[in-house]
Amino acid sequence: MNKGILITFEGIDGSGKTTQINELIHRLDQRNIDYQLFREPGGTRIGEKIRDILLDKDHSNMLPITELLLYSASRYQLTMRSIIPALNAGKVVICDRFYDSTTAYQGYGRGIDLEFIKRLNAVATKSLIPDKTFILDISLEERLQRLGKINLDRLEQEAITFHKKVREGFIAIAREEPERMILIDGNRPAEEISKEIWNHVKSIRSEKIE
């Protein structure tokens, strides 16, 4: 059984994940709590190369199943080489996106069969389930205001209808696992959100992080 804690952050682009991850890391640093931070896709040498392929705007003709399998390949490499060893070492592992992004983006967004994605996610993660997942939710109008229209990657520059489906997907999967997934209004002040997140984190195996 893993001795560490796995915390994942999800949401559409521009939702504030990076800000909240940095806030959480700051709190962990203040308490000298050992942690490791990873991102998806990426987090390993192979995963970073896959990330470059996935986000390259020149690959606009990438097919949905190709996209799905590339994300899953990167995730398997990260899970096996980095996440599981860190958890076994008793660390707090923070991941900027995990398999819920695949469900939202490739499932709800691309329309790939959700049951197939569920099985593939289990394979790609060795059936690892986060202890807590924070989904930061913002409106599509707020997303456009935060991101702008310059230097967007392949996924970010998808049509608004795609991102609408992705956002709806995140909301749907949050309802399916209310114990694990915390849906947060990302339009609130960052400090207010970070305090809420920290209160949830403290409740996870509190004896390990107090």
Band of pLDDT at residue 209, cut at 50, 70 and 90 = very low
pLDDT value for 206: 59
Strand partners of residue 132 = 7
CATH superfamily of 5-208: P-loop containing nucleotide triphosphate hydrolases (3.40.50.300)
- Across residues 66-70, what is the average pLDDT? 98
pLDDT value for 1: 47
- Its pTM stands at 0.94
> pLDDT digit string (tens) for 87-106?
999 999 999 999 999 999 99
- pLDDT tops 60 at residue 207: no
- Across residues 145-172, what is the average pLDDT? 93
Q: What is the average pLDDT score of the chain?
A: 95
- pLDDT tops 90 at residue 2: no
Band of pLDDT at residue 150, cut at 50, 70 and 90 = confident
Q: Where in the chain are the domains?
A: 5-208
Give percent above pLDDT 90 in the chain.
Answer: 93
Band of pLDDT at residue 82, cut at 50, 70 and 90 = very high
Q: Which residue has the higher pLDDT, 15 or 208?
A: 15
pLDDT value for 159: 94
